[in-house]
Every structure is written in C-alpha cells, then in structure tokens.
Structure 1
C-alpha cells in the first residue's frame, strides 16, 4: 500500500478526481490482468507504469481473449474515471464507458421470439455460443439444440458454422441473450 504521506502528489491527484471525469493518456503496459495508463495530467506512479488502470471488463463491450486485441502500448486513450484504488494508489478507469453499449441497441431492435441468423463461436459443455450481431453473443443451452439433446454440444456444429436461431430470452441488466436452435422454424422451400 502506498500511503498519502509517502506520495502526497499522487494522493492529491487521486482526491481531485470525480466519477465520470474524462481522462486522457497513453497505454504504458498491457498485462494479463489489465492495462496501465500514463495519464496526461497525472503524476508518475512510484511502482507501476502508470497511475491509471483499466481492468479487463472495462476495456471493451465486445468479448476478447487478450487485452492486446483492444489496445497496444503507446496508444492514446480517452477513459472515464470510475474510482480511486486506495490500496494501490491508482485511478481505476473505463475505456468501454466512452462508447455506447451495443447490447442495449441490440435489445431495442430485437424481441423474444424473433428469428436471427448467427455464427457459432464456441462449443461449451453446457451449450453453444453464437454471435447474433456485431459483438453480441448468445447461448443455446444443450436442450435447445436441434435434433436429439446430447451431452456433447453440437455434434454437427463447429465454430464458424452459420445457423438460424430464435431469441428465447433477453436480460438487459445482465446483458445476456438466450437462444434456441430447436425452436427456429426450418427455412421455407421455394
């Protein structure tokens, strides 16, 4: 822990920030646990590469495997201040908060019972993850797969396959979409 008496300039800076403030800076380090940002108006941090820190969930609305898919060292960023981390002496930031949440726009134009075209992203023990819109993924539980339910998801499905699904649930707060392949009517012959 870095106390106020050890680094008064850092603590004065952190105390001056308010939730929602926009802060600019440069990505100083990309780590498996988050991203350090050297803030333009902030002091040097005595231990870390930057006084600003973005946790992985606050990087982007879209899903990603590695933070380097979203940002890189040296990149200029504009972030929203969330809170001061008094243990580490950091400004916790959000990069994703600077843009609209694509899930909310998706939920505005899609309703339960609607048929969508999607692409299989991942097979999991409990079902299949399907991308149904740019950056929007939903889950087909095993019981909602077409054909005979099985313990091995999507015997006939693999990542990259295009499939037709029906929206069976939308939770705006949790940002989740439940899907069914079984309930999707077959395409019309013609």
Structure 2
C-alpha cells in the first residue's frame, strides 16, 4: 500500500524527527468510530488519510467515553503526546489523555483503603456493579459482597442509579482499578 519509501520520502523521513513523549500539535480533520485523524502543524501530508497524526478512542480521554465527539470536534486545534510511529499506516500515533492529569492517580493520592465513600451505581455486570464515587472514577463492587444468598442476576439486588455507601478495599494504581465493598459488610470485620 504505502510501503515504498521512494513514493513518500517526506513521510518516511518524518518519524526520524520524532521522539516518544514529545508534544505535537495539529488540527482535527476527521472523526471516525475507531479514532481521530490530525493534520500535524509540522508534519507532512498523508497520501491516503486526512492527516498523518492519529488518536485512538482510548487515548482521547481518561474517562470512559461513548464517542470521539464527546472530546473533540473537526477543526479543533489539539496538542497531543507522540506515542509511536505506525509503519504499516505511516501515521504518528498520538495521545490526548497523556497531556492531562490522570484523575485516577489524583483520586488515589487522597483516598485510603478503609475509607467510606458515597456513590451511585452506574453499570450492572454479571459479577457485580460499578459504582461512581466521584467524577470520572468508578469502582467495582463484587456480587458476593452485595448478597450472601445466591441470586440469578445482579439486578435482583441492585439497580443502576441506586445510591450506595461503600468502603474502599483496594486501590490498584498500575491497573487503575478500584475495588469496593458495602459499608454494612465491613462493620462485621472491625
């Protein structure tokens, strides 16, 4: 496809000028369901895509988002961190979220295991529920913590939108994972 350096010498030379972690700026040219194309201010034109920069959906935001439109618009000027050069598509993979503080690490700095938090159930899954304890931060409450009796489904015990007081049982910074238990269950262990 684009694997011939003689056809796009500028494009092939471009990655040699880039270093992982540097900030590149450009304009959002197209939004697809798999990511966002960016025409870089200092980058060459791309023969196929509307921009040599590309941001995948997970790299747009630390939050869980439904669509790229929740974060960026076509025509918006963005600054993003360079991750790597994709030699298959000849595009610079970028991260927008890397330029912003990770809300999970901020949360972890001010939260301790054993701390009580108030939250709201956002999502039911077969093995438990996700509870949002602050803006953009959700923790998992296992089904076994919710009830000691067997139930057919999580919805037999709790519904999305329910308010909950929970206790933090684990904060995993590496995996950005928060585990919770219900308050009443934790009082038995004191």
Q: One fold, TM greater than 0.5?
A: yes
Q: What is the alpha-carbon distance in structure 1 between the residues aligned to residue 146 and residue 95 of structure 2? A: 37
**Number of residues paired by the alignment?**
185
| Structure 1 residue ranges without an equivalent (≥5) | 186-190
Q: What is the alpha-carbon distance in structure 2 between the residues aligned to residue 23 and residue 46 of structure 1? A: 20
Please show how residues 43-82 of structure 1 align to structure 2 within 5 Å.
43-82=44-83
Q: What is the alpha-carbon distance in structure 2 between the residues aligned to residue 183 and residue 44 of structure 1? A: 59
TM-score, L = length of structure 1: 0.91
Report the equivalent of 1:108: 109
Tell me how far 1:184 sits from its aligned partner. Answer: 5.2
Q: Are residue 2 (structure 1) and residue 29 (structure 2) matched?
A: no
For 1:103, what is the secondary structure of its paired residue?
helix
Tell me how far 1:146 sits from its aligned partner. Answer: 4.8
Taking a change above 3 Å as real, the CA distance of residues 131 and 150 of structure 1, as seen in their structure-2 partners, is same
Tell me how far 1:149 sits from its aligned partner. Answer: 4.7
| Structure 2 residue ranges without an equivalent (≥5) | none
Q: What is the alpha-carbon distance in structure 2 between the residues aligned to residue 118 and residue 151 of structure 1? A: 24
Paired residues of 2:147 and 2:157 also in contact (CA < 8 A): no
CA deviations on 1:90-110 (whole Å, 9 max, x unpaired) are 000000000111111111111
Paired residues of 1:142 and 1:151 also in contact (CA < 8 A): no
Paired residues of 1:19 and 1:81 also in contact (CA < 8 A): yes
Paired residues of 2:127 and 2:154 also in contact (CA < 8 A): yes
Taking a change above 3 Å as real, the CA distance of residues 65 and 158 of structure 1, as seen in their structure-2 partners, is same
Taking a change above 3 Å as real, the CA distance of residues 117 and 78 of structure 1, as seen in their structure-2 partners, is same
Q: What is the alpha-carbon distance in structure 1 between the residues aligned to residue 150 and residue 69 of structure 2? A: 38
Please show how residues 103-182 of structure 1 align to structure 2 within 5 Å.
103-146=104-147, 148-181=149-182
Tell me how far 1:14 sits from its aligned partner. Answer: 2.0
Paired residues of 1:53 and 1:90 also in contact (CA < 8 A): yes
For 1:29, what is the secondary structure of its paired residue?
strand
Report the equivalent of 1:27: 28
